[in-house]
């Protein structure tokens, strides 16, 4: 299995309300959440798993109630229609990078290993981290570092990368890290994590893909159906929180003369669910996790 699924019991408790219903696991990965969902379903229940990573196909679950779709979850609605499914009872998404992807050094996700600058969740796509670092204009790089990595020195960082790549193309994760070796050691882990996060989000268009998935999840959910999303950084969580609150990602919804607006979801809990200390101790990936659940109105 790729990793210990984060918030496993809590997420599936929130998700599955009808054992004979139709459910979607948008981020199949190692199949941990899907296996738990299938245990809760009756023989009439159905589950669709989505994953664009070819490695995930090796984890397919042999169960007649289960269908694994090798597709990015931004194509959720159309992909389900191909199977004759227009409405479902619940959608689960466990966002971010799996432990398997981090641990596969050659994928270039980890700050701990020297590897080619890649970071593609779908290895068949063209854009990779090497192209972002070596080919993007300085201003574009600065925007990525500032907005996706929340790095205050974004313009200086971009300028330094452009300077170094003029001398020699930046090919590996170690090449990239060496540019910033002057960062004090006690700050390095956080800095490299933010830098790599920014590049990874750009390579995979993660925030735009998340927006597409959330909107399509709303479309395919039945009234009373549940959307459960586990996120790992504030950029994702902010989008999820806003969407569950008013169906929008920015701006404010139109209100009537009494100040009311049409809500799309009711929150199952007012605050995000977070892992307890025991789970964090056994699974470091859980440390930053936040789970939010909405019930479609």
- Bind-site residues for S-adenosyl-L-methionine: 31-33, 51, 73, 94, 101
Classify residue 154 by its DSSP letter.
Answer: H
Annotated binding site: 31-33, 51, 73, 94, 101
Sheet holding 290-296, edge to edge: 66-69, 46-50, 22-25, 88-94, 221-231, 290-296, 265-267
- String of b and e for 29-65 (b: at least 16 CB within 10 Å)? bbbbbbbbbbebbeeebbbbbbbbbebbeebbeeeeb
The bridge status of strand 290-296 relative to strand 66-69 is: unpaired
Q: For the chain, report the end-to-end CA distance as a whole number of angstroms.
A: 36
160: helix, coil or strand? helix
| 3-class secondary structure, 102 | helix
For residue 138, the number of C-alpha atoms closer than 13 Å in the C-beta half-sphere is 12
Answer for the pair 296, 226: CB distance below 8 angstroms, yes or no: yes
Contact 216, 279 (CB under 8 A): no
Give the count of beta carbons closer than 10 Å to the beta carbon of residue 227: 29
Burial of 13 (0-12, 13-18, 19+ CB in 10 A): middle
Return the bridge partners of 266, or none: 295
């Amino acid at each position: 299995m790729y990793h210990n699924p984060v918030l496993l019991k809590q997420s599936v408790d929130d998700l599955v309300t009808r054992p004979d219903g139709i459910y979607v696991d948008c981020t199949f990965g190692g199949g941990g959440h899907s296996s738990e969902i299938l245990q809760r379903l009756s023989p009439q229940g159905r589950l669709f798993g989505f994953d664009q990573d070819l490695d995930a196909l090796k984890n397919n679950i042999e169960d007649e109630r289960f269908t694994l779709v090798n597709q990015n979850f931004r194509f959720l609605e159309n992909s389900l229609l191909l199977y004759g499914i227009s409405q479902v009872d619940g959608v689960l998404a466990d966002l971010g990078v799996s432990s398997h992807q981090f641990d596969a050094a050659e994928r270039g996700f980890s700050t701990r290993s020297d590897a080619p600058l890649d970071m593609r969740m779908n290895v068949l796509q063209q854009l990779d981290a090497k192209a972002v670092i070596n080919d993007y204009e300085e201003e574009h790089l600065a925007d990525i570092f500032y907005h996706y990595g929340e790095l205050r020195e974004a313009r200086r960082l971009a300028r330094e990368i452009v300077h170094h790549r003029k001398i020699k193309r930046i090919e590996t994760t170690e090449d990239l890290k060496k540019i910033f070796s002057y960062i004090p050691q006690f700050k390095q882990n956080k800095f490299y994590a933010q830098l790599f996060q920014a590049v990874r989000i750009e390579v995979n268009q993660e925030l735009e893909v998340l927006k597409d998935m959330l909107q399509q999840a709303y479309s395919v959910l039945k009234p009373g159906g549940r959307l459960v999303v586990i996120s790992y950084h504030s950029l994702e969580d902010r989008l999820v929180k806003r969407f569950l609150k008013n169906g929008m990602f920015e701006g404010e919804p139109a209100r009537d003369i009494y100040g009311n607006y049409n809500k799309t979801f009711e929150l199952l809990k007012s605050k995000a669910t977070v892992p307890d200390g025991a789970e964090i101790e056994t699974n470091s990936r859980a440390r930053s996790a936040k789970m939010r659940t909405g019930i479609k109105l």
